[in-house]
Amino acid sequence: MTDTPQFRLGVLGSGAGSNFVAIADACASGQIPAAVAVVLSDAATAGILERARERGLQARHVAPGPFRTKLDESAERAFVEALRDACVDLIVLAGFMRVLKGDFLRAFEGRIVNIHPSLLPSFPGLEAWKQALDHGVKVTGCTVHFVDAGVDSGPIIGQQTVPVIDDDTPATLHQRIHSAEYELYPRCVAAIARGKIKVAGRRVLWS
């Protein structure tokens, strides 16, 4: 037994929650030495909330306000309060379709991570797998990074490559990138929970 408090994750998502499932299952198996403290979604019917409740985890919808791509001020405060109430150590974005700004980033500076379906800094933004296909690259992949005020621009924690096959469609390539994400994201979150990650300027160092 130990008196050390367990590392606590807050997960934000807007969709089906497949990356959340990979994280939650890795926590349950001990691959990630952490617990999912709360799951929050800006979409009331998001699958991620159902996946969380199936696992007996606290799951809440928080209304995002009138904007399509960001949270309004009251919604931002509600998200911050819910995460603080859950005493989270790290915020894990799992398909959260809102850009985080200002007060939210300041409240959890250096403690928000995201996964993006390309090898950043290539192909930031939406539909990165389609961007990769359109550019004719032979290798793409996924990137786990810290979140800052830019678009997919924070310090890179880890990456995993995925080959682009000649007969790939956007759907087939996206699915293979998803499979890589389910391996990379838990590995990176586990390293953070174990205190193995240090940020030095733009560089992320593993120990």
pLDDT of 156 reads 98
Q: Per-residue confidence at 4, pLDDT binned at 50, 70, 90? A: low
Domains: count for the chain: 2
Q: Per-residue confidence at 176, pLDDT binned at 50, 70, 90? A: very high
Task: Say if residue 112's pLDDT is above 90.
Answer: yes
In this structure, the answer to whether residues 120 and 87 fall within a common structural domain is: no
Fill in the amino acid letter for 196: K
In this structure, the answer to whether residues 20 and 89 fall within a common structural domain is: yes
CB atoms within 10 A of CB 175: 12
In this structure, the answer to whether residues 135 and 152 fall within a common structural domain is: yes
178 is catalytic: no
In this structure, the answer to whether residues 89 and 121 fall within a common structural domain is: no
pLDDT of 35 reads 98
Which residue out of 61, 116, 174, 178 is catalytically annotated? 116
In this structure, the answer to whether residues 85 and 57 fall within a common structural domain is: yes
Average pLDDT, the chain: 96
Q: What is the pLDDT of residues 48-63, one digit of tens each?
A: 999 999 999 999 999 9
Which of 77, 93, 109 terminates a domain? The answer is 109
In this structure, the answer to whether residues 93 and 19 fall within a common structural domain is: yes
In this structure, the answer to whether residues 100 and 3 fall within a common structural domain is: yes
The boundaries of the domain holding residue 134 are 115-207
Sequence-distant (6+) residues with CB within 8 A of 174 are 117, 129
In this structure, the answer to whether residues 96 and 119 fall within a common structural domain is: no
Sequence-distant (6+) residues with CB within 8 A of 144 are 113, 114, 115, 156, 157, 158, 159, 184, 185, 188, 189
The two three-digit tokens of residue 130, written as one number: 């389609």
Q: Which CATH number is 186's domain given?
A: 3.40.50.170
* Rg of the chain in Å (alpha carbons): 17
Which of 109, 144, 170 terminates a domain? The answer is 109
Sequence-distant (6+) residues with CB within 8 A of 181 are 19, 22, 115, 117, 142, 160
Q: What is the pLDDT of residues 192-204, one digit of tens each?
A: 999 999 999 899 9
Which of 85, 109, 133 terminates a domain? The answer is 109
Q: Model's pTM, two decimal places? A: 0.95
pLDDT of 5 reads 64
Sequence-distant (6+) residues with CB within 8 A of 23 are 9, 11, 32, 36, 92, 94, 185, 186, 189
